Chains A and B, each alone.
Chain A
Amino acid sequence: MTTQTAELQTNTAAHTRDLPVVTPATDIYETETGVVLFMDLPGVSQEQVDVTLENRTLEISARREMPAPAEYQATHREFGSVEYRRAFTLSDNVDRSKISASLKNGVLRLTLPKAADAQPQKIAIQSG
């Protein structure tokens, strides 16, 4: 059985606030026991990240403020304050009660274990 984690098109119009919305770069790996997701969220602290699960929709959002250093002038700008937002639909075989999240060096790591009955089982063959 394979795990699906389809991406949802988030309704940006409904979420439009004062900040531009950015879709963060994401890696999704499937392992034998589950799915691991890595998402780049530079400049965001633990308290600023929201991971919500509603039915089968997993939504990750975070607000990144980038205030200008006092008494300095912007000479060159490639990034600023943003709202990160991305959503995925989980398949039924994810054990939703065991999802865990951690944040390190600006990268969010989500571990989505497969439900026990979805994990591959080795069937021993007895020699007759």
Chain B
Amino acid sequence: MIVPMTRLDWTIDPFCGLNRLHRDMSRFFGGPSSAIAQFPALNVWTSENGVVLCAEIPGVDPKDVNVSVEGNVVTVAGERKADSTVPADRVHRGERETGTFSRSVRLPYEVEANGVEARYEWGTLRITLPRKEASKPRKISITAE
């Protein structure tokens, strides 16, 4: 007699589904964790002379990332693809999302689009955006009569 094998041997974290539900709900309703749920996660650092933008983009070929600057808005867009080299018979865990992504940040001032540098290392992207000379504050000297 042949008994079909049941695939119930995978141990499941009893709270995994609940956590996922909470995450999905808060993403849908814009709860407190929705900012973290956005991909890629961003850090913005500013100074008088420019902006440094860091993004967590693991598992993406740098060729599939596009950084664009328009006025004072910088956009990081691209695609995270699934690894196609693994001939998977079964997926035991699939937490790493794939697909296209795009996030834009409005900067406090215009930046020099020609001077923008982007570097991808260990799955993080670091973009350096120098401030446009014309947008820097000018000191106006007052002449006394």
Contacts and interface: CB of A to CB of B under 8 A. Distances in A.
Nearest to B58: A106
Contact of B91 (A7, A9, A27, A105): A27
A105 B97 CA distance: 15
A44 B122 contact: yes
Interface string B45-64: 11100001010111111100
Most B-side CB within 10 Å, residue of A29, A35, A42, A76 = A42
Nearest to A32: B89
B124 interface: yes
A30 interface: yes
B124 A25 contact: no
B25 interface: no
B90 A42 contact: no
A30 B89 contact: yes
B145 interface: no
B58 A77 contact: no
B10 A4 contact: yes
B58 A41 contact: yes
Interface in A1-33: 2, 4-7, 9, 25-32
Contacts of B54: 66, 79
Given A26-B95, A78-B41, A71 B9 contact: no
A73 B87 contact: no
A38 B47 contact: no
Contacts of B62: 105
Interface string A67-91: 0110111111111100000000000
Contacts of A28: 91-93
26 contacts: A2-B5, A2-B9, A7-B13, A25-B95, A25-B96, A27-B91, A27-B93, A27-B94, A28-B92, A29-B86, A29-B92, A31-B86, A32-B89, A36-B86, A40-B58, A40-B59, A42-B58, A43-B56, A43-B122, A72-B45, A73-B46, A74-B43, A76-B44, A79-B41, A105-B59, A107-B59
